[in-house]
Amino acid sequence: MKLFRHGAVGAERAGALDARGVKRDLSWLVPDITPDWLSPEKLRAIAAIDIEKLPAVADGTRIGAPVGGVRQFVAIGLNYRKHAAEAGMRIPKDPVVFNKAITCIQGPNDDLNWPERSEKMDWEVELAFVVGTKAQRVSKESALSHIAGYCLANDVSEREWQANRSGQWVKGKSFDTFGPLGPWLVTADEIPDPQAIPLTLAVNGAVRQKSSTGDMIFTVAEILSHLSQFMTLLPGDVVITGTPEGVGLGMKPPQFLKRGDVVELDGGVLGSQRQKVV
């Protein structure tokens, strides 16, 4: 299934794509896509609905982040070999973990707010996964069974705040609007191999990132298992898994976003995003 949320900010409702790709309103039966609806049992119940009998969502309706009520937003850094090389950093021995504020989460096509006096606003296309069942000290072999689904993400970053403002990376990662997710939550049964997803990002029509999750240093299963050794992952938690090479910081000379720029992302089955910097 491809689940989504539609409507104004703060008033999103549940939706699903039917077999023809038509957006359908699920809210008569499922009020919202929240952690309570991400268990295997609840997802099976949604899958049993005859979606084509539900009303279509009007064209032009805003699409929100595909899951609401997120409690933890976790990110992995330097998880693509070529990206680590362009950053001039060694391949990590364990996943590099940091947090993004849940308040930065937004819809896939919402505008990106350029922070006041920003110097180095950057882009990062990523694969995200959403936890469906509590994960606490799970093995790599069983890790994927705890995932409800996958979505596309843009880990927007302000590099000056990230690297030079006397703090951890979270400082440059958590500005409002810096966490676009979606458009869809593609349930895990439709993605048997999360290490075979193409990722592309363009700025003003020029392709900057073009890679695949096959270049990850640590796989999705390894990431979830590793995180669960020292923190409990809860239903609805979002984990973004790192970005490929091609970020603005790695260009020579570096190039960063400015007002008016348009960023477009594509993740194959995960769908696409489009954001304007305002």
Q: Specify the pLDDT at position 218.
A: 98
Structure tokens of 176? 């409002």
CA distance 155 to 105: 10
Q: What global pTM score does this model have? A: 0.97
* Angle made by CA atoms 225, 122, 227, in degrees to the nearest 5: 10
**Residue carrying structure tokens 């705040």:** 161
Give the CATH number of the domain where residue 201 resides. Answer: 3.90.850.10
Is residue 165 within 8 Å of 206, Cβ to Cβ? no
Does 25 fall in a domain? no
Does 24 fall in a domain? no
Q: Which residues pair with 275 in a beta bridge?
A: 263
Residue 161 amino acid letter? W
Per-position pLDDT tens, the chain of length 278: 999 999 999 999 999 999 999 999 999 999 999 999 999 999 999 999 999 999 999 999 999 999 999 999 999 999 998 887 777 778 899 999 999 999 999 999 999 999 988 889 999 999 999 999 999 999 999 999 999 999 999 999 999 999 888 888 999 999 999 999 999 999 999 999 999 999 999 999 999 999 999 999 999 999 999 999 999 999 999 999 999 999 999 999 999 999 999 999 999 999 999 999 99
Does 105 fall in a domain? yes
Does 253 fall in a domain? yes
H helices, E strands: number in the chain: 5, 18
Q: Which residues contact 206 (CB under 8 A, 6 or more apart)?
A: none
Residue 184, classed as helix, strand or coil, is coil
CA distance 182 to 221: 21
Q: Specify the pLDDT at position 85.
A: 79
Q: Specify the pLDDT at position 199.
A: 98
Does 3 fall in a domain? no
Does 251 fall in a domain? yes
Quote the number of domains for the chain. Answer: 1
Domain of residue 228 covers 65-276
Does 39 fall in a domain? no
Does 191 fall in a domain? yes
